[in-house]
């Protein structure tokens, strides 16, 4: 994306027909009519304003995922941009099976500004819709894009740059025969339609693999090193990424920044919303070699993600340094408070069973915790099934899984953790930057829309 003026970007959310499946047209809902939305390429310490105008006919809320953002600009699910002239039919809480608290709603007509201070290390962030009850269908239709934060520390490393630094948004989608996106319900919400919510209980999956909006693409690469920034922007699908020739993925970055040092991985699990930056060295292969990025958790068509086709040898002065960035490991003894959050399907009075946190359905006006700004807390997260658990504002380090050391891909600073079935994960989370109301939720977007969210207050 190009700024409209210094430090100021403007996006218009609008529908547009694009060709995703050859020979058909798909109506997407995109930032600037694009899917993925335009990439924001920003720098640490250079705050920006992003004006989002809504020309769709549904309300939206834009969240910068992984951003250290003031609460007012964080894309709270009931802090909405209601399209001018089209929003007359919109009434807060109308579709919701979550609690209805009118005081939690804030409506902007037509457009609004979001301010991002970007006082945080270089990282691969992303922005996406966060409207209460409708995040899943709205992201499914295309409301998501990258935000790359750069800084001097990252720039000074000899890692691949420019054309060899590539963000790759992975997501699965399903389509009707005419090319239209296929999402299971008409009004977008899976709640309240008997028979539907059960079927899509685990989240909505597609059968077409998209990378940056294109099905199973082939990327022509030089015979050189590449920095690939993977984002799992799928509603509910998990991936285990690997190269079909068994070459390693050199893991250099996690959700919210570079690791202390590179780590060679034979495969990489990525749950919804997680990011992983890796280096792949294509200089080892002859021109014309094709290498497939596979998904070891996918069957049939979903077992392949994309292909790389290696071109001619070129000059490449990049390298992978032994040390990346200094990393301060948080210690359990730093934690001033301990909390437990249980992510489970449980019955909520008056609503039957639903996805809950600590037995409660999301209450937009409520708050589960008061957290002191500038402190570290220890959170014990407990899951019944797979839940990618995400916190806003706070970044964390995974301390343990079921009492054992974290997994390879838990390394570094995270904002989302891939919870496995019946797992207990301890994290040390640090809250810096802003006071205000933020949230903790499952990033399986259907679980999120089915009330698996909670607010907390940073005070």
**Residues at the interface with Cu ion (CB under 5 A):** 65, 387, 392, 442, 444, 447
Distance between CA atoms of residues 146 and 229, nearest Å: 10
3-state secondary structure of 115: strand
The residue behind tokens 């079927």 is: 199
Residue whose CB is nearest to ligand C2O in the complex, by number: 65
Phi, psi of 423 (to 5 degrees): -115, 150
Q: Which is nearer to ligand C2O, 190 or 393 (CB)?
A: 393
Half-sphere exposure of 101 (CA within 13 A, CB side): 14
* Whole-number Cα distances in Å, 121 to 69, 150, 155, 246, 439: 13, 7, 11, 32, 21
As given in the structure block, the two tokens for residue 33 are 């009519």
Q: Which is nearer to ligand C2O, 65 or 387 (CB)?
A: 65
**447 lies in the site for ligand C2O, by CB under 6 A:** no
**63 lies in the site for ligand C2O, by CB under 6 A:** yes
Question: Whole-number minimum distance, CB 362 to ligand C2O, in Å?
Answer: 11
**441 lies in the site for ligand C2O, by CB under 6 A:** yes
The residue behind tokens 């490393």 is: 157
Selection from ligand C2O, Cu ion, none that 130 binds (CB < 5 to 8 A by kind) is ligand C2O
**Closest among 394, 380, 390 to 431, alpha carbons compared:** 394
Q: Which stretch binds ligand C2O (CB under 6 A): 10-18, 198-206, 326-334, 435-443?
A: 435-443
Question: Whole-number minimum distance, CB 448 to ligand C2O, in Å?
Answer: 7
**273 lies in the site for ligand C2O, by CB under 6 A:** yes
User: What is the Cα 266 distance to its own chain's centre?
Assistant: 23
As given in the structure block, the two tokens for residue 442 are 């499952």
Q: Which is nearer to Cu ion, 13 or 444 (CB)?
A: 444
**131 lies in the site for ligand C2O, by CB under 6 A:** no
Selection from Cu ion, ligand C2O, none that 128 binds (CB < 5 to 8 A by kind) is ligand C2O
Q: Which is nearer to Cu ion, 65 or 225 (CB)?
A: 65
The residue behind tokens 């597609």 is: 206
Q: Which stretch binds ligand C2O (CB under 6 A): 25-33, 231-239, 310-318, 439-447?
A: 439-447
Question: Whole-number minimum distance, CB 22 to Cu ion, in Å?
Answer: 34
Rounded to a whole number of angstroms, the distance between the first and last alpha carbons of the chain is 35
Q: Which is nearer to ligand C2O, 77 or 298 (CB)?
A: 77
Q: Which stretch binds ligand C2O (CB under 6 A): 180-188, 234-242, 249-257, 436-444?
A: 436-444
Question: Whole-number minimum distance, CB 144 to ligand C2O, in Å?
Answer: 9
How many residues touch ligand C2O under the rule CB under 6 A: the total is: 10
Q: Which is nearer to Cu ion, 34 or 444 (CB)?
A: 444
- CB within 8 Å of 422: residues ≥ 6 apart: 383, 384
Instruction: Select from 387, 390, 401, 447 the one that contacts ligand C2O (CB under 6 A).
Output: 390
Distance between CA atoms of residues 274 and 345, nearest Å: 23
As given in the structure block, the two tokens for residue 266 are 């034979």
The residue behind tokens 């390298």 is: 319
Q: Which is nearer to ligand C2O, 59 or 262 (CB)?
A: 59
**392 lies in the site for ligand C2O, by CB under 6 A:** yes
**Closest among 75, 201, 88 to 138, alpha carbons compared:** 75
Question: Whole-number minimum distance, CB 154 to Cu ion, in Å?
Answer: 21
Question: Whole-number minimum distance, CB 64 to ligand C2O, in Å?
Answer: 9
As given in the structure block, the two tokens for residue 437 are 């109301």
**387 lies in the site for ligand C2O, by CB under 6 A:** no
**238 lies in the site for ligand C2O, by CB under 6 A:** no
Is residue 21 a contact partner of residue 62, using CB atoms and an 8 Å limit? no
Selection from ligand C2O, Cu ion, none that 447 binds (CB < 5 to 8 A by kind) is Cu ion
As given in the structure block, the two tokens for residue 189 are 């919400």
**65 lies in the site for ligand C2O, by CB under 6 A:** yes
Q: Could you give the dihedral angle defined by the CA atoms of residues 196, 200, 203 and 207, in that order, rounded to the nearest 10 degrees? A: -110
Whether the ω angle into residue 309 lies within 30 degrees of 0, i.e. cis, is: no
In sequence order, which ranges of 196-337 are alpha helices (DSSP H)? 196-199
**Number of Cβ atoms within 10 Å of the Cβ of 152:** 10
As given in the structure block, the two tokens for residue 65 are 């995922």
Selection from Cu ion, ligand C2O, none that 444 binds (CB < 5 to 8 A by kind) is Cu ion
- Classify residue 320 by its DSSP letter: -
Selection from ligand C2O, Cu ion, none that 273 binds (CB < 5 to 8 A by kind) is ligand C2O
Question: Whole-number minimum distance, CB 67 to Cu ion, in Å?
Answer: 8
Question: Whole-number minimum distance, CB 416 to ligand C2O, in Å?
Answer: 8
Q: Which stretch binds ligand C2O (CB under 6 A): 6-14, 282-290, 356-364, 438-446?
A: 438-446
The residue behind tokens 């009075």 is: 349
Chain residues that interact with ligand C2O, rule: CB under 6 A: 63, 65, 128, 130, 273, 390, 392, 439, 441, 443
């Amino acid at each position: 994306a190009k700024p409209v003026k210094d430090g100021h970007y403007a996006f218009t959310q609008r529908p547009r027909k694009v060709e995703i499946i050859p020979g058909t047209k798909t109506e997407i809902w995109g930032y600037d009519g694009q899917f993925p939305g335009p990439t924001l390429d920003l720098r640490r310490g250079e705050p920006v304003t992003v004006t989002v105008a809504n020309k769709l006919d549904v309300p939206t809320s834009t969240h910068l995922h992984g951003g250290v953002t003031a609460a007012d600009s964080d894309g709270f699910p009931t802090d909405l941009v209601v399209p001018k002239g089209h929003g007359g039919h919109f009434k807060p809480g109308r579709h919701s099976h979550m609690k209805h608290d009118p005081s939690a709603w804030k409506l902007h007509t037509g457009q609004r500004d979001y301010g991002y201070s970007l006082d945080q290390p270089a990282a691969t962030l992303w922005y996406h819709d966060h409207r209460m009850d409708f995040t899943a269908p709205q992201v499914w239709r295309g409301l998501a894009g990258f935000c790359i934060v750069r800084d001097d520390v990252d720039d000074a490393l000899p890692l691949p740059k420019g054309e060899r630094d590539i963000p790759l948004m992975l997501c699965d989608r399903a389509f009707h025969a005419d090319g239209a996106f296929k999402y299971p319900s008409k009004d977008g919400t899976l709640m309240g339609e008997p028979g539907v919510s059960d079927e899509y209980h685990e989240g909505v999956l597609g059968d077409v693999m998209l990378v940056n909006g294109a099905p199973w693409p082939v990327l022509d690469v030089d015979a050189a090193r590449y920095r690939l920034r993977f984002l799992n922007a799928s509603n509910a699908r998990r991936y285990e990424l690997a190269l079909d020739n068994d070459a390693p993925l050199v893991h250099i970055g996690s959700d919210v920044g570079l690791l202390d040092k590179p780590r060679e991985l034979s495969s990489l699990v990525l749950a919804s919303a997680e990011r992983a930056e890796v280096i792949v060295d294509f200089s080892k292969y002859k021109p014309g070699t094709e290498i497939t990025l596979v998904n070891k958790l996918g069957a049939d068509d979903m077992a392949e993600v994309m292909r790389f086709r290696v071109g001619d040898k070129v000059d490449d002065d990049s390298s992978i340094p032994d040390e990346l960035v200094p990393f301060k490991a948080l210690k359990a003894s730093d934690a001033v408070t301990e909390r437990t959050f249980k992510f489970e399907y449980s019955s909520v009075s008056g609503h039957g069973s639903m996805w809950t946190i600590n037995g409660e359905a999301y209450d937009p006006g409520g708050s589960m915790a008061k957290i002191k700004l500038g402190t570290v807390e220890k959170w014990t997260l407990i899951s019944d099934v797979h839940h990618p658990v995400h916190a806003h504002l706070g970044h964390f380090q995974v301390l343990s899984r079921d009492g054992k050391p974290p997994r390879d891909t838990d390394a570094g600073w995270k904002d989302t953790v891939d919870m496995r079935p019946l797992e207990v994960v301890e994290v040390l989370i640090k809250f810096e930057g802003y006071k205000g109301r933020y949230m903790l939720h499952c990033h399986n977007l259907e679980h999120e829309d089915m009330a698996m969210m909670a607010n907390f207050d940073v005070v």
